[in-house]
Structure 1
Amino acid sequence: MDYRRTYRSAAIAFADLVARIPSDALDGPGLGEWTLRDLLGHTVSSALRQVPAVLAEPAPTLLVPAPEAYFALARVAPADLVAAARAASTDDARATGAALGGDPAGVVSGYIGQATAALAGASDDDVVATPAGGMRVQDWLPTRTFELVVHGSDAAVAAGLPIDFDLETVASTAALAARTAAALGQGLPAIRALTGRAPLPTPFSVV
C-alpha cells in the first residue's frame, strides 16, 4: 500500500468530518475526559501539526524498525513515563483544541497543507527523530495515518456523523493494528476474534 496516499486520504476524510461538525457540539463529549474540541486538538497535534517538525529533524540512528514497534514500545515503557506522557497529551489536546478557535476546518486544512508539503520533500528511507526514537519515514508516517483513522472515527462517533475513509486507508490501519497485536503477543486472540472463533479478552487494546 502507498503510505503517502493513505495518509493524505485519511487527512482529507478527517478535514471533511471537521467541516461538518456543528460548532455547538465542540464543547460536548469527545473521548473519555476530553471534549470533542479536545479530541480534535489531539488528532491535529499528533497526526498533522508535528509532521513537518519530525520530518525536518534527522536522527543519527534507527531505533524503531517498524510501525508496530512504535506502538508496542508504549506497552513496555515505565508506568511513570506513560502516566506523564498521557498527562502531557491531555494538556496539549486542550491547548490545541482551543487554538482551533471558531474555524476548526480552516485550521485543519492549513495543517494538512503543511504536512503534505513536508512529506513531498522527504524520502522513504530518511531516518527522522520521532518521540519514540529514530524511524524511517515510511515506517513512521503510517503511525500518523493510524492516529487519523482511530481518532477520526472517535470524533465521528462523538459528533454522531459518518466519516468516509477509503478501503485502502482502512485496510492499512487494520493491518497495522493486527501487526501490533502480534508484536504484543496477542496475535492469535485477534485472529480468532476476527474469524468468529472467540471474543477478544476483556480489556483488549493494542494502544
Structure 2
Amino acid sequence: MPPAKKRARSYDPARTRGAVLAQFANVREAARGLTPEQLAGPTRLGDWTVRELVAHIGMALTAVHGALAAPAPPKATVTVAEWALGTAVRAAGIADRTREVAAAQPDLDAYLAGVEKDLRAALEEHPGTRLLDTTAGAVSVDDYLVTRTVELVVHTDDLNAAVPGLDVPSERQAVATATRLLADALATKAPGGSTEVRVPPYAVVQCVEGLRHTRGTPPNVVETDPMTWIRLATGRLTWADAVAGAQVSASGERADLGELLPLLS
C-alpha cells in the first residue's frame, strides 16, 4: 500500500496578511532613506542595481492585485510548496520586467506607496478564497500571500547585503511562514522519511527516500537556523559553504542536501 499523502500545511490568513504588509512597510521605510549612489549600487542578483531590487520587491505585491484583475480560474492547480519549485523557469521574464518597472519609476517611494494602497484595496474587495491565475498555476489569494512572504524576506536579505550598514528588519511571522513553505518544498521535491530537517523554532520535515524512522533520534538529521535555511533554499548560500562555516549541522549518510538545493532561484 502506498504511503498516505501528507496533509498540506495550513497558514493563518490574518497573520499572513499582517506579516506581508509589515515586511513591505519595513522595506519602504529603508528604501526612503537610500541615496542616489546607493540606489545605483550593485546587488548579489546578477547585474541588478539596488534600484531594480527595490522595484522588484514592489512587483512581488503588484502580482497580487494584477492577478485579481483577471478572471478567476475554475480550480486550484498548485500548492504553495509547488509554487516554490517552479520559480526558476520564470526568472528571465521577471528580470526583464523588473528593469522596465525600475526605469519607469523615478520616485520609488511614490511607487511603493501606490503598491501598498492598491494591495490593501484589493484585499478588502476580494475574499481570501478567491482563486488567482498566476504564472506558477492557480492558487487562492490566501495561499498566494504565503508565497509573498518568501519574496519579501529573501529580497529584504538581498537589500541588506547590497547596502553596507543597512539593517532592514524581517518580521518574525514573515520569516516563520517563509521557513515553513521552503521546508515543505524540500519535502515535496524529495519525498521520503529517511532524513529529518529541523529549522527551529519554525519547521521540522522528513524527506529523502530510504528507511523511515519511527521512534527516537532519526539516523539522518540536518539542523540550521531560519535565515540560513532560507538562504540555502533560495541559492544565496551553498550547502558546502554552510557546512564549512558551521552554519548547518548534518549527520548521517543521507544528510547531504547539496544536490537538492537550491529549491528557488
Q: Same fold (TM over 0.5)?
A: yes
Match of 1:36 among 50, 57, 63: 50
1:61 maps to which residue?
Answer: 75
Q: Deviations over 1:66-86 (max 9, x none)?
A: 2111112346xxxxxx2xx32
2:93 maps to which residue?
Answer: 88
1:205 aligns with 2:262: yes
Secondary structure, aligned partner of 2:75:
coil
Match of 1:148 among 148, 152, 159: 152
1:112 maps to which residue?
Answer: 116
Q: Is there any run of 5+ residues in structure 1 with no aligned partner, and where?
A: 76-81
Counterpart-to-counterpart distance in 2, 1:27 and 1:206: 29
CA positional deviation for 1:202: 6.6
Secondary structure, aligned partner of 1:7:
helix
Q: Is there any run of 5+ residues in structure 2 with no aligned partner, and where?
A: 1-11, 199-221, 226-247, 251-255
Match of 2:184 among 157, 160, 179: 179
Counterpart-to-counterpart distance in 2, 1:14 and 1:179: 26
CA positional deviation for 1:90: 1.6
Higher relative contact order (CA 8 A, sep 6+): 1
1:135 aligns with 2:149: no
Counterpart-to-counterpart distance in 2, 1:204 and 1:189: 15
Counterpart-to-counterpart distance in 1, 2:260 and 2:84: 17
On the 8 A contact 2:149/2:175 being kept in 1, the answer is no
Match of 1:163 among 151, 165, 168: 168
CA 1:5/1:204 → structure 2, altered by over 3 Å: closer, same or farther? Answer: same
CA positional deviation for 1:203: 7.9
Moved over 4 A (4+): none
1:4 aligns with 2:17: yes
CA 1:197/1:157 → structure 2, altered by over 3 Å: closer, same or farther? Answer: closer
Counterpart-to-counterpart distance in 2, 1:189 and 1:164: 29
Counterpart-to-counterpart distance in 1, 2:87 and 2:169: 29
User: For residue 171 of structure 2, what is the amino acid of its counterpart?
Assistant: D
Q: Deviations over 1:4-24 (max 9, x none)?
A: 111111211111121122221
Counterpart-to-counterpart distance in 2, 1:201 and 1:126: 37
On the 8 A contact 1:189/1:201 being kept in 2, the answer is no
Counterpart-to-counterpart distance in 1, 2:196 and 2:51: 34
Counterpart-to-counterpart distance in 2, 1:55 and 1:29: 33
Query: How many residue pairs get matched?
Result: 196
On the 8 A contact 1:6/1:169 being kept in 2, the answer is yes
Larger fraction in helix? 1
